[in-house]
Chain A
């Protein structure tokens, strides 16, 4: 069994006097969907933004594929093959699907863009994910439904041969049927051997796709468990109280002061 694709150890992050993440350990394995759950303000989005290089870490080590790396900015994360899909859909409305997928990384030489090659690559990527719901790759993004937009955003990660994809509440703004289609895509990403992190508040979503569940509680990682070993109720207890039976934080009376 090989090393985890991404491993964070002892991550700390403060915003001024507010200590948001306390010694967080987090691992992502290739081919697995890891759900990152926690209450509002537990630090889920901060953790993702630290991995993506948007927030600098105060302390902690990052290992990628077993090697120690430093992530100083979004460019570093992208170079390693870490892609983030945000809940507010970072797509440009006035551009079409191909232009969005290649935004900032256009192909071509000098002044001339290689439109044909880009279109071809975009089409192949969507086909490899069995996305057959988008009619033409030249459709402007503004005319797509919420689910189709998320599909484009996720396909972008595959096009760039990312190794790890972090999805920050990808289904928060979607209806039931569209949510299911996006989750279906999330599962197929993992089946292709990518490491996938899914942030979600929806327990049904988490249980239907995740292989492992990592729970944050007030900035601490209280449990990383296999989905098959836990129940809905246990995960909800972990989210709200930080412990459930033997899982999570130690009971106060046995904790050292």
Chain B
């Protein structure tokens, strides 16, 4: 790091803090003019200049004259984060497939890969080996070196060292995933629950941007949720939170693998949807989506096919809204394929029947716009979190 004229005036730690804040702003919010940076961060213009100059010198950002001019005077320079300045690995382990991506500063996906899990390929050792092999291949092809990693797992994860206690849908128990990957790559790899990661992605880059209290609920084979409370992720002791899918809604319902009966997941998960749509259990994801799309074209049939499903979705969401009191609920993953009329109906029912929703003037219920990539995006953010000050 080169010393700049202002460096002596401020303690080094303050400057470092400002630098990280500026980098985080550019990473999450995208390119921005120097003037806007000064306003948003509440820093002096000369401070911003010194910071940006330092970052530009080390190749982390690039400055350019903006194309569209606003008003009179010399235009403020546009600061663009350079994707290749910091690259992290994002991994999304799902029940039926694994996806990996190398993500650059600013959130650009530089390259990606995915594969199906069938039979032996779903064993932890096989998955870890394939992740390592694929990542090396991809990094070589793109000619980049990664500085950190983030992994999303559908299970209960210890935050400190990424130890997966239990991932029932994957049939995993006691897998030291974080330690194994950290050792293999020689860079810090963080592991977290998939719903928590998706909530982080929605909060930073998706539908829940700018909202301080939001809940993200997603359906894959299992159903999970992540909670953003007062702008931060709700974690619970050692990070064990978010099993919203195992909230019991129907005590007389089907047995769940978790040992309970009538968990929310058994009524609104992918298997429940397959049942409602008359598809064989464990149909490929695309088939469920295609079927839901076809149904959307015939609004009159939605109620007949998905009446029970709608009722259970509403019941669960009312409880969630009553417990967490969010201003926004984002429905993700498979829920994004639900007919729009169904989502509107559920939102109306929740607004009417939840007293918390009534009190805060109506909790909004929307579907995610990030598609299936939400967990990859979140895993990348998880990886970026601790390393932005090291770039």
Contact = CB atoms under 8 A, between A and B. Distances in A.
Nearest to A212: B284
Given A191-B285, A208-B115, A30 B290 contact: yes
A109 B140 CA distance: 46
Interface in B115-155: 115-116, 118-119, 134, 137-138, 140-141
Interface string A31-54: 111000000000000000000000
B8 interface: no
B294 interface: yes
Task: Report which residue of A176, A177, A178, A183 has the largest number of chain B beta carbons within 10 angstroms of its beta carbon.
Answer: A177
Contact of A180 (B137, B277, B286, B289): B137
Contacts of B134: 180
Contacts of A2: 290-291, 294
Interface residues of B, number: 35
A6 to B, nearest CB: 13
Contact of A181 (B97, B111, B140, B287): B111
Contact of B113 (A29, A32, A181, A191): A181
A176 B137 contact: yes
Q: Which of B97, B116, B288, B293 has the most CB of A within 10 A?
A: B116
Interface in A206-241: 207-209, 211, 227-228
Given A184-B99, A191-B286, A1 B291 contact: yes
B114 A187 contact: yes
A133 B109 CA distance: 7
A130 interface: yes
B371 A178 contact: no
B287 A32 contact: yes
Contact of B286 (A30, A183, A207): A30
Interface of B: 97, 99, 108-116, 118-119, 134, 137-138, 140-141, 277-279, 284-291, 293-294, 337, 371-373
Given A2-B294, A180-B137, A184-B99, 15 more contacts: A5-B290, A29-B287, A31-B284, A31-B285, A32-B286, A128-B371, A132-B109, A177-B111, A177-B140, A177-B141, A180-B134, A184-B113, A190-B286, A194-B286, A211-B284
4 smallest CB-CB distances across A and B, nearest first, come from A31-B286, A30-B290, A177-B141, A193-B290
30 contacts: A1-B278, A1-B291, A2-B291, A30-B286, A30-B287, A30-B294, A31-B284, A31-B285, A31-B287, A32-B284, A33-B286, A130-B109, A132-B108, A132-B109, A132-B110, A133-B109, A133-B110, A133-B111, A176-B137, A177-B113, A177-B138, A177-B141, A180-B115, A180-B134, A181-B113, A191-B285, A207-B116, A207-B118, A208-B115, A228-B118
Interface of A: 1-2, 5, 29-33, 128, 130, 132-133, 175-178, 180-181, 183-184, 187-188, 190-194, 207-209, 211, 227-228
